[in-house]
Structure formats: C-alpha cells, structure tokens
Amino acid sequence: MRRVLGFMILLTGFTLVYLSSKELLPFVSGKPHERLQVLWEKDIETLRKEEKLPTYWNRISKIHLRPTDNRSEELLKKLKIPFETRKEEAFQMEILFDIWEDLGDKGAFFQYSIIAPDGNTVWELTRTLVYD
C-alpha cells in the first residue's frame, strides 16, 4: 500500500513538472523568441479571460504583420501568432511589431488594429511585453 501511495505521489510530481515545463523552461534556458512566444500566448489568453477583446476579434480573416525594422522582422519570423483566422469573415488585423532595449531589459511592442470591411479602423490596442 505504501509503495502504491509513494508511486502515485511521484507520478503526480512528474506530471506537474511536465505540465509546467512549457511555460517555465523557456525562462530558464530558452532563447529570447521562446520566452516572448510564451508571454505573447499568455497575454492573449489573459485578454480573453478578462473580456478585453472586442467581439470581432474572432472574425478576423487576414493578419498583416508590420515589423518596424530588420531586427523586429527577424524575431517576428520565429514567432507563431497565438490566435486563428477565419477565412469566411471580413475583418482584417494589422499588427505593428517592434523590439526595444532599455537599461538591460529587452521587450516587444505590439499594436493591434482591427479593420472593418469598409476600411475603417474599428479597434486598437497596444501591449508591451518584457521578455529578457
């Protein structure tokens, strides 16, 4: 009985380590783009949970990525956009992306703009994430 209980505790511990490794491992030994990817995914998830995204967030058909310079473009190529598009919808999104350094910190600037079918910008949001 004690062996079974000990095995179950050990198995639970390994499971918790495995489940948290995706979020924690990039911050221990990961590359900057891996850390930024985790932060970007968590940021979008937080905005969804707090209901800070507009209803047409789920109606995006196309995303235009706009890096501000070559360094930003190289980092952006290594990232995966943490949300999906829907081809049958008519709204478009533009993401302005910039990276910066200040007093040893490195961060990324995201500006999201949602554009309606008539070409008008209907929503904007700016986020800054410090990843290193």
- The helix (run of H) or strand (run of E) holding residue 39 is helix 32-49
Report the range of poorest mean pLDDT among 17-21, 51-55, 89-93, 124-128: 17-21
Q: Which pLDDT score, from 0 to 100, does residue 24 have?
A: 53
Tens-digit pLDDT profile for residues 25-82: 555 558 999 999 999 999 999 999 999 999 999 999 999 999 999 999 999 999 999 9
* Predicted confidence (pLDDT) per residue in 75-103, tens digit: 999 999 999 999 989 999 999 999 999 99
Task: Say what the pLDDT of residue 18 is.
Answer: 61
Determine the pLDDT at residue 3. 76
The string of DSSP letters for 116-132 reads -TTS-EEEEEEEEEE--
Checking if the pLDDT of 131 tops 70, the result is yes
| Residue 70: predicted pLDDT | 98
Residue 6 host element (H or E)? helix 2-29
74 and 45 Cβ atoms separated by less than 8 Å? no
Q: What pLDDT is stored for residue 2 in this prediction?
A: 73
Whose CA is closest to 97, among 58, 127, 130? Answer: 127
pLDDT at 30: 80
16 pLDDT more than 90: no
Strand order in the sheet with 121-130: 60-67, 91-102, 105-115, 121-130
Q: Is the per-residue pLDDT at 120 higher than 80?
A: yes
Amino acid at 110: F
pLDDT the model gives residue 23: 53
